[in-house]
Amino acid sequence: MISNSIVYIVLAASILALAFAFIFYKQMMKQDEGTDLMKKIAAHVRKGAMAYLKQQYKVVIIVFIVLAAVFGVMAYFKLQNGIVWFAFLTGGFFSGLAGFFGMKTATYASARTANAARKSLNSGLKVAFRSGAVMGLVVVGLALLDVSVWFLVLRCTKLLELVGANADMVTITTTMLTFGMGASTQALFARVGGGIYTKAADVGADLVGKTEYNIPEDDPRNPATIADNVGDNVGDVAGMGADLYESYAGSILATMALGASAFATAATQAAGEQLQMKAVIAPMLIAAMGVLLSLIGIFLVRTKENAGMKQLLGALSRGTNTAAILIAVATFGIMYFLFGNPTNIEELKAIYGGDTDQQKFTEFYFNNMWWLTSLSVVVGLLAGVIIGKATEYYTSQSYKPTQKVAESSKTGPATVIISGLGLGMLSTAIPVVTVGVAIVLAYLCANGFDLNFEAASLQRGLYGIGIAAVGMLSTLGITLATDAYGPIADNAGGNAEMSGLEPEVRKRTDALDALGNTTAATGKGFAIGSAALTALALLASYVEEIKIALHRVAMVAADGSAEITKGVRWTVEQIQDANLISFMDAYNVNLMNPIVLVGIFIGAMMAFVFCGMTMNAVGRAAQKMVEEVRRQFSTIKGILEGKAEPDYERCVAISTKGAQREMLVPSILAILVPILTGVILGVPGVLGLLIGGLSTGFVLAVFMANSGGAWDNAKKYVEEGNFGGKGSDNHKATVVGDTVGDPFKDTSGPSLNILIKLMSMVSIVMAGLTATVHLL
Amino acid sequence: MISNSIVYIVLAASILALAFAFIFYKQMMKQDEGTDLMKKIAAHVRKGAMAYLKQQYKVVIIVFIVLAAVFGVMAYFKLQNGIVWFAFLTGGFFSGLAGFFGMKTATYASARTANAARKSLNSGLKVAFRSGAVMGLVVVGLALLDVSVWFLVLRCTKLLELVGANADMVTITTTMLTFGMGASTQALFARVGGGIYTKAADVGADLVGKTEYNIPEDDPRNPATIADNVGDNVGDVAGMGADLYESYAGSILATMALGASAFATAATQAAGEQLQMKAVIAPMLIAAMGVLLSLIGIFLVRTKENAGMKQLLGALSRGTNTAAILIAVATFGIMYFLFGNPTNIEELKAIYGGDTDQQKFTEFYFNNMWWLTSLSVVVGLLAGVIIGKATEYYTSQSYKPTQKVAESSKTGPATVIISGLGLGMLSTAIPVVTVGVAIVLAYLCANGFDLNFEAASLQRGLYGIGIAAVGMLSTLGITLATDAYGPIADNAGGNAEMSGLEPEVRKRTDALDALGNTTAATGKGFAIGSAALTALALLASYVEEIKIALHRVAMVAADGSAEITKGVRWTVEQIQDANLISFMDAYNVNLMNPIVLVGIFIGAMMAFVFCGMTMNAVGRAAQKMVEEVRRQFSTIKGILEGKAEPDYERCVAISTKGAQREMLVPSILAILVPILTGVILGVPGVLGLLIGGLSTGFVLAVFMANSGGAWDNAKKYVEEGNFGGKGSDNHKATVVGDTVGDPFKDTSGPSLNILIKLMSMVSIVMAGLTATVHLL
C-alpha cells in the first residue's frame, strides 16, 4: 500500500541534498584563499554581491507583502483559498534562500579556485565544480523540502480545512501549485535585476576599458571590473539558480496536479484512489531519485593533471551523462514499483466502462502504464540532451556557424551583427522541433498511443508531458552544478588577473573559464527547454484551477451556480462533472474565437516588449557606468598607470541602483498583464495569452541566447588567433558583436524563461478573479 | 434587386484605375529626361532592373508550372477542383504584370523626376508621385479585374461545372480564394528575391564605398551604385507592389468567402439568397469605391513652390486623409444601399428561428446591420491610421525614440544596435494592441455586439474582421502611390548625384527622398497590419475549404462519408450541416490539444527561421558584392579619381545571381512546411501553425521594420549635424546600425508579410490533401 509515509523518502532525499551541500561548502571553505591581494579582491566582490542581494531583497519583500495582502483580500472574498498567501511566502523565501546560499558559496569559492589552480588544473576544477554543486544541491534540496513538507502538512493536518471543506487530491495539488508563484516572483526579480546588473557592469566596463583605453578584461585599473565580477555572481549564479528552482518546483507541482486530475475519475473508488495517489507521488519520487544520482554524478567529475579542454569537458560530461542514464533506468524501476502488476484491473474496467474496445484498452493501458509513462520521462531526458547539443553546435567556436560569424568580421561590425542574428534565428529550428516532437511523444506514450481526443486520454497524455519535464529536470542537482561552475571559474580568472598571478595560472583559469562558457550555453538551452515544458504543464493546471475557482464561487452563490460565459451558468454538480474538454467547449477556447486570437497576439507581443524593456534597461544602466568610468579615468590621477586605486564601490553602487530601478517596470508588467487580460478578455483570452507568450517567448529566448553565445565565442575564436587575432580590426568588430550579445544571452533571453512561467503562475493564482470578473 | 450586373460596376472601376494609370504613365513619359548623362544613368538602372525581373520570372515560371501540375494531379484525384490550376496561373500572372508595369514606370520616372526638380520642387513631386500612382492604380486595377471577371465567369458560364456539381455561393467564393495563391507565390519571390537583391547591393556598396573608401552614397565611382539603385526598384517598387496586391486581393476574396458562409443558412431561401449575394458583393463595391476616391486623393496631392518638408508631408497627407475620410462616409452609403430597409425581416426571423429573445435579436440585427457592418470598416481604417502614426513615431528622427538611438552612438556601434533593437521590440506594443482591439471591435460591431459564441454570430463577426481588412486596404490606390513614390524619389536623388547636377537640385531631390523615407516607414506598418488582418480572415476560410474538401471526398467515397479524425466519420449530410464551431469540436482545435500547441510552436519557429535565412542570404550576397567592389577598386586604374568607368554590369549581375540563388530555399520552405504539417499533424496542426506563424510573424515583422527604420533615421539625424555630424565617430556608429537595419526593414521584415499570408493560402489550396491524408 502506498501512503503518505512514502513521501518521507522524498523528504529524506531533500535533506541528503542539503547535507552534501553543507559538506561541500565546508570543504571549500577549508581551502586556502591565496595571497593577501587575492583575498582583498575576493572580499570586494563578495561585499558588492551581498550588498546587491540585500538591496534586491528589500524591493522584493515589499512586492511580496503587497501580493500576499492581495491574496489575503482574495481569500476574504472567496476568490482564493486561505492558505495561498502564506504558501506563496514560503515559496519565495526558499527560492531566495537558495540564491543566497549559492551566491555566498560562489563568492567564497572564486579566490580559492584561483589559488587551487596555482597547484594544478584538477585542483582548480574540483574546487570550482564542488562549489557549483552547492548551488545545485541547495536548489533541489530546498525545492523538494518545500514540496514534500507542504504535501505532508496538507495531508496530515487541519490546515487542509483552509483549502476547502471537501478538499480532495486534485484540490490539494492544485493549491500547492499556487505556491510556485512565490518562487516565480522571486525568480523574476533575481533574473531581471541580476541580468541588468551584470550586463550594465560588463558592457560599461568593456566600452570604456577595452574599446576606448585598450586595457584587457578584468584589469584592476578598470573601475568597473569589480562590478563586472559581482555581476557574474548576481546574474549567473543567483539568477540562474532562482530560474531553475522555479522550473524544478513548477514541473514537479504541475505534474502532481496533472496526475491527480488524470486519475480523478478512478479516485471515486478506493482502488482508484491508490492509483491517483501513486500518480501524484511519482514525480516526487523521480526527483528524489534524481538527487541521489546527481550526487553520484558529482563525485565522478575529476580529471587528470594537465588535462586539455577535451578532457575537462569529458570530465563534466561523464558526471552529467552517467546521472542521466541512471535516472532513465531508475525511472523504469520506480514506475514498476508504483504501477507494475496492477491487481485491480477489473475494478478499473468497471470504473472506466464503455464498450468492449474501451474495456480492452483500459486493460491494456493499466497493465502497461508503468513502462509507457517511463518512456515519457525518457523522452524528456532525451529532449534535454538534444537541445543542449544543438545549443553547443550553434554557439561553440569549434563548429561552423560561430566560425562563420567570426569570418564575417572581415567586413566589419555590421556583418558580424547580421550574421549573428541570422545564426540565432536559424538555431531555433532544432530546439523547437525537438520540443514539438517531445510533446507529441510524451503525450502519446503516456496515454497508450491513443489518438482519440477524449478527456481521460487527454489528461493521461498531459500527465506524460508534465512527467517529461520532470525527467528533463530530474538531474538538476548536477546540471545546475555545471552551470554555476561557470561564473565561479570566470571570477577565478578575474581574481587571478587582478592579483597578477603567474601566466601559467592564468592559462589554467582560462581553460576552466572556457569550459564554463560551453556549459553555460548548454545550461541556457536546458533552462529554456525545461521552462517551455513546465509552462505547458501549467496550462492544463490553469483550467483545473478555474474549475476549482468556479466550484468555490458556485458553493457560496445564492442559487448554487456560477457563470461560465455570458448567459451560461453551471451548477455545482455540472462544475464537478466537467472535464478539460468540456471547459474548452464551454469557454469556446478554440482557434476561431477572436478573443483567443487576440490573447495569442498579446502574448507574442509581451515577449518582445519585455525583451525590449530589459534591453533598454541594460543600455541605460551601462550608459551611466560608462560615464562613471570615464569620469574616474579623467579625474583620478595615476589610475591608468596602476598607481592609484579606482573607486570600485561607486561602480558597484551604480550597477546596484540601476538594476533596482530598471527591474521594476518589466517585472510589474509581467504580473499585471495576465491579470488585466483575465479581467478584460476572460478565460479564453488568458489561455491565448499564455500560449502566445509561451510559443513566441520560447523561440525568442532560444534566438537571443544562441546569438549572444555565438557572438561571445566568435570573439574568442578571433582572439585565439584567427582572422587577424587580438587587436586587429576584425577583433574589434567581434567585440561589438559580443557587447550586443551580452544583454541578449544574459539579460533578455533568460528573463523570458521566467516571463512565460510567471504569466502562467499569475493566471493560476488569479483564476478566482478571472472566473468571476471578466468584461467579454 | 441585386444581381450579377452590379459586379460590372466593379469591373468598370478596375478599368478606370487602369485607364488613369495609363494616362499618368503617358504624362510622365512626355517629360524630358534631362541631360545625356542623366539619360545614360537611367538607362543603366532600367536595363539592370529589367534584366533582374526577366531572370526572376524565369525562376518563377518554373515554380508556377510545377505547382499548377500539382494542382492538376490533385484535381484528378478529386483532392481539389478542376479550375484551381488555371486560376492560380491568372493570379500569378496579374500580380507579376502589376510588378512589371510598376517597375517599368518607376525606372522611367527617376531621371524625369530629377530633371523636373531642376525646375522646382513641386514639379519634381508631381512627376514622382504621379509615377508612384501608376503602381498604385495598376495594382488595384488588375486585382479588381481578376476578382470581378472570375466572379462573373463563374456565375454566368459553364466553367462552374468544373468547380463542382452543385456549386453554391460558398463554393464559388472559396474556390476563388484559392486563386489568391498565385498572387501569394508571385509576391513571395518578388519580396524575398527583390529584398535580397536590393540589400545585397546596398550593404555591399556601403561597406566598401562609405566605410572603407569614404566616398558618399550614390557616388558614380562606386561600382555597386547602379545595382543599389536597381535594387530600390526591384525590392521597394516591384516587391512592395506584389505584397500589397496579394493583401488587397486576398482581403477582398476572403471577405467574399466569409460573407457567403455567414449568410449561407439564410441562403437556403430566396430572400436570404439575396442577402448572401449582397454580403459577397459588399467588399467588391467598397474596393471599387475606394478606387474612385483614391483617384480624387491623387489629384489633391500638390504643393506650393519652395515648400518645406512639412508642406510636402502635408500635401501627401491631404491626399491620403481625404480618400480615407471619404471612403468611411461612402461605406455607410454603400451599406445602406445594400442592407438598409430590409423588407424580409419576417422571413429571416423564420429562418433563424429560436425563442423570443433570438427572434428579437434577429430583427434588431437585420434592421441595423448596414451601419453595424460599416462600423467594422471604419475600425479597419482607423487601425491602419494608428499603426501608421505609431510607425512614424518610432522611426522618425523628429521624435524621441530615434533621437535616443542616435544619442547612443556616443558609446559606439554596440549601443546603437542595442538601443535600436530595444526600440523595435517596444514598438510592437501599439500595433499589436491596435490590431487586437480592431479585431474585437470589428467582430462585435459586425455581429451586433453579440457575446454568445454561436455559429451564426461567429460567422457574422468574422465577416466583420474581413471587411475591416478591406476597409484598411480600400484606398490602396493612393497609399501605395505614396509608397512607390519613395524609391522613385530615392532613385531621382541617385541620378542627380551621379549626373553631377547643381547642389540646389540635389537639395530638392534630398527633400523628396526624405519624404519618401517617412512614407516608406508608414507604408510598411500598413502592409504588416493589413497582412495580419487578411491572414486572420483567411483562417476561417481555411476551415470552410476543409469542409468543401471533405464534402468532395465523401461524395466520391463508397460509403458516402469522410473521415474527420481517427475513428470519426461524417456523412455528406453531416458535413453539409456542420459549421465552423462543429468543425472546431470535431477536429479538437482547442488549446488543450497538444497537436495544436505543437503547430503553434512550429509556426512561431517558422517566422524566425525564415527571417534567419533571408538575413543570412543578404549577408552572403553582400559579401560577394564587397569582394567585387574591392576587386574593381584595386584593379581598375583611375576608378577612384573618376577617370575610369567602373564595371556596373558585373555588380548588377552579382546581385541578380545572388538573389536568385538565395531566394529559392526560404521560398520553398514557406510552401512545403504547411503541406508537411498538414500531412503529419492534420487540421489541428495546420491551424496551430497558421496562428503561430501569424502572431509571431506579425510581431517580429513590426519589430524588424521599426528597428530598421529607426537606425536609418538615427543615421540621418546625426548627418543633420547632431552628435558630431557627418564623418564623426558617432556617425560611423550609426552607419553600422543603418547597415544592420537594411535587411531588417527591407528584406526579412517585409518578407514575413508574405510568409504569413502564403502559409494560409497554401493550407487552403492543400486542404483536400490534409483532409484526406494525415498521420496523427
pLDDT tens-digit readout, B115-154:
999 988 888 988 999 999 999 999 999 999 999 999 998 8
Cα A546 from Cα B591, distance rounded (Å): 15
Q: What is the mean pLDDT of chain B?
A: 90
Check residue B282 and give its pLDDT: 95
First to last CA, chain A: 49
| Chain B, nearest residue to A586 by Cα | B453
Q: How many CA atoms lie within 13 A of A252 on its CB side?
A: 30
> By C-alpha distance, which of B112, B198, B147, B199 is closest to B11?
B147
* Contact (CB<8Å) B453/A418: no
Residues 6 or more apart whose CB falls under 8 angstroms from that of A399 comprise: A392, A393
pLDDT at residue B401 greater than cutoff 90: yes
Q: Which residues of A touch B619 (CB under 8 A)?
A: 408, 415, 418-419, 422
Portion 138-167 of B in contact with A at CB < 8 A:
none
Q: How many CA atoms lie within 13 A of A219 on its CB side?
A: 16
Of B604, B612, B687, the CB nearest to A422: B612
The residue among B598, B605, B734 with the most chain A CBs within 10 A of its CB, best to mutate, is B605
CA distance to partner chain A, nearest, from residue B438 (Å): 10
CA distance to partner chain B, nearest, from residue A262 (Å): 14
| Chain B, nearest residue to A698 by Cα | B601
Least confident of A112-121, B60-69, B308-317: B308-317
Portion 565-584 of B in contact with A at CB < 8 A:
565-567, 580-581, 584
pLDDT < 70 positions in chain A: 1-3, 160, 162-167, 271
Of B590, B612, B740, the CB nearest to A584: B590
Q: Which residues of B touch A602 (CB under 8 A)?
A: 432-433, 436
Q: Which residue has the cell 492581495?
A: A70
pLDDT at residue B233 greater than cutoff 60: yes
What is the pTM (predicted TM-score) of this model?
0.95
Other C-beta atoms within 10 Å of A361: how many?
18
Of B425, B539, B602, the CB nearest to A432: B602
| Chain A, nearest residue to B463 by Cα | A594
CA distance to partner chain B, nearest, from residue A308 (Å): 34
Q: Which residues of A touch B429 (CB under 8 A)?
A: 605, 609
Residues B467 and B373 sit within 8 Å (Cβ to Cβ)? yes
Other C-beta atoms within 10 Å of B76: how many?
10
What value does the CA radius of gyration of chain B take, rounded to a whole number of Å? 26
Complex ipTM tops 0.85: yes
pLDDT (tens digit, 9 = 90+) per residue, B677-691?
Answer: 999 999 999 999 999
CA distance to partner chain B, nearest, from residue A33 (Å): 37
The one-letter amino acid code at B216 reads: P
Check residue A329 and give its pLDDT: 96
The residue among A441, A457, A597 with the most chain B CBs within 10 A of its CB, best to mutate, is A597
Q: Is B619 at the interface with chain A, CB within 8 A?
A: yes
Label residue B311 by pLDDT band (50, 70, 90): confident
Q: What are the C-alpha distances in Å from A512 to residues A313, A323, A637, B368?
A: 10, 22, 35, 74
The residue among A605, A669, A672, A747 with the most chain B CBs within 10 A of its CB, best to mutate, is A605
Other C-beta atoms within 10 Å of A359: how many?
16
| Chain A, nearest residue to B205 by Cα | A411
pLDDT (tens digit, 9 = 90+) per residue, B110-122?
Answer: 999 999 999 888 8
Count contacts between A and B (CB, < 8 Å): 288
* Contact (CB<8Å) B619/A585: no
Q: Which residues of A touch B408 (CB under 8 A)?
A: 619, 623
By the 10 Å C-beta count (0-12 exposed, 13-18 middle, 19+ buried), A476 is classed as buried
* Contact (CB<8Å) A440/B598: yes
pLDDT at residue B676 greater than cutoff 70: yes
* Contact (CB<8Å) A612/B435: no
The one-letter amino acid code at A2 reads: I
Cα B74 from Cα B63, distance rounded (Å): 16
| Chain B, nearest residue to A435 by Cα | B598
* Contact (CB<8Å) A687/B536: no
Q: Is A692 at the interface with chain B, CB within 8 A?
A: yes
Q: Is A724 at the interface with chain B, CB within 8 A?
A: no
CA distance to partner chain A, nearest, from residue B660 (Å): 19
pLDDT at residue B467 greater than cutoff 90: yes
Q: What are the C-alpha distances in Å from A311 to residues A308, A516, A760?
A: 5, 14, 41
| Chain B, nearest residue to A457 by Cα | B593
* Contact (CB<8Å) A736/B417: yes
Cα A223 from Cα A243, distance rounded (Å): 30
Other C-beta atoms within 10 Å of A695: how many?
33
3-state secondary structure of A592: coil
The residue among A208, A453, A458, A712 with the most chain B CBs within 10 A of its CB, best to mutate, is A453
Q: If you ran DSSP here, which 8-state letter would residue A215 be given?
A: P
Portion 732-761 of A in contact with B at CB < 8 A:
735-736, 739-740, 743
Residues 6 or more apart whose CB falls under 8 angstroms from that of A199 comprise: A231, A235, A618, A622, A742, A743, A746, A747
CA distance to partner chain B, nearest, from residue A296 (Å): 36
Label residue B203 by pLDDT band (50, 70, 90): confident
CA distance to partner chain A, nearest, from residue B15 (Å): 37
Check residue A165 and give its pLDDT: 55
Q: If you ran DSSP here, which 8-state letter would residue B410 be given?
A: G
* Contact (CB<8Å) A429/B609: yes
Portion 227-246 of A in contact with B at CB < 8 A:
none
pLDDT (tens digit, 9 = 90+) per residue, A529-563?
Answer: 888 988 988 988 899 889 888 988 888 888 888 88
Q: Is B436 at the interface with chain A, CB within 8 A?
A: yes
* Contact (CB<8Å) B440/A592: no
The one-letter amino acid code at A581 reads: I
Of A426, A443, A602, the CB nearest to B612: A426
CA distance to partner chain B, nearest, from residue A460 (Å): 12
The residue among A425, A437, A665 with the most chain B CBs within 10 A of its CB, best to mutate, is A425
pLDDT at residue B21 greater than cutoff 80: yes
CA distance to partner chain A, nearest, from residue B489 (Å): 27
